Amino acid sequence: MGFTNAILRGLFATVALLTAACGTPPQISVIGVDVVEKGATTSELAVRLEIQNLTGEPIRLDTWEYNLQMHGQGVYSGQWVAAITIPAESRVLTAIPAVVNNGDLPTTDASWNVDGWIRYLEPTRFSQMLYDLGLNRPSTNFGGRGDKIGSGGSVPSAG
């Protein structure tokens, strides 16, 4: 019994060290928020993002979880499947959607705030195995704010 416990403790310590040694997370900047489609009762917004991968390996983005506030009031909270890979040492522009009631959508001179996190995965076999087992699900926070809402551009689409 003591020998088995020692092996299990050693195994968990090894997994903890390996998961802590995972690489540099992507750097995420919120560029802006645009109204891309206005309907009768709701509007679709695009939260514009710049993502930088500073590592020598590609990084797969998995799931966004984020909140959007306007004038300090929460108007959207949700998840979005990213399903994109950021090539090594590169920068990518993308967008994530938010659907808000038109009554919550102020004029274009509205202050906004976005905060959230993204779960990501380095595409090595070992990282994939730990991710699939639920032992290592790295994530990084992002956020940004602005004083104006833009308009136009494309509606974000899934991965």
Model confidence pLDDT, tens digit, residues 39-62: 999 999 999 999 999 989 899 899
Helix (H) or strand (E) holding 31: strand 27-38
Dist. CA 131–CA 120, nearest whole Å: 9
What does the pLDDT read at residue 69? 96
Tell me which fold the domain 25-151 belongs to: Immunoglobulin-like (2.60.40)
- For the chain, residues with pLDDT lower than 70 are 1-23, 108, 123, 155-159
Give yes or no for a contact between 61 and 116, defined as CB atoms under 8 angstroms apart.
no
Dist. CA 97–CA 138, nearest whole Å: 22
Residue 18 tokens, joined: 């390996």
What does the pLDDT read at residue 9? 56
Give yes or no for a contact between 123 and 65, defined as CB atoms under 8 angstroms apart.
no
What does the pLDDT read at residue 48? 95
Q: What are the angstrom distances between the C-alpha of 101 and each of 40, 44, 70, 75?
A: 9, 9, 12, 8
Give yes or no for a contact between 61 and 87, defined as CB atoms under 8 angstroms apart.
no
What does the pLDDT read at residue 133? 78
Per-residue exposure over 12-48, b if at least 16 CB sit within 10 Å of its own CB, e if not: eeeeeeeeeebbebbebebebbbbbeeeeeebbbbbb
